[in-house]
Amino acid sequence: MPRPKRNLLATVEDTLTPPDALGEEQAIARITKAAGKNLYHAECPGGKEVLVELESKFRSTIWIKRGSYVVVDTATLADRDNKLDGEIVNVVRDEKQWRKMTYWPAEFVKKSTYVEDSDEDESTVGKMPPDSEEE
């Protein structure tokens, strides 16, 4: 029997608004690769790669794709002996609102898509190459 719809909607609504502050053991990470069975490879702000597990309340509710951001808690799985480095406790859904928060890492600043084409020679712009000119 599936979970009640009210539980699904409550889980989704929790991810829309960012928290006021992150805990000491929590950090924002970028998903680099899905490892299968609710496991993901993530990149922490310092460039460290970690293997994290999706919290059970998000399973079959929220899908995470490569390049999205999550909040990883490293203290939840510290007492277990395994290769997992942490657990995904929140998923960044409204990235614009999350980027405004003071705890957003400087390493994950959005890069500009505007590329300046100032190094092209203006005399060659719009002209045909010498081989294809009509004789």
- Report pLDDT digits (tens) over 87-115: 999 999 888 899 999 999 988 877 656 65
Do 16 and 63 form a contact (C-beta atoms < 8 A)? no
- 131 pLDDT above the threshold of 80: no
Which spans in the chain are helix H?
5-16, 95-99
What is the domain partition of the chain in residue ranges?
A: 5-109
Q: Where are the beta strands (DSSP E) in the chain?
A: 26-36, 39-43, 49-54, 69-73, 86-91
Rounded CA separation 43/57 (Å): 22
In this structure, CATH architecture of domain 5-109: Beta Barrel (2.40)
| Residue 27 confidence (pLDDT) | 93
For residue 63, give the amino acid letter: W
Strands 86-91, 49-54: pairing is parallel
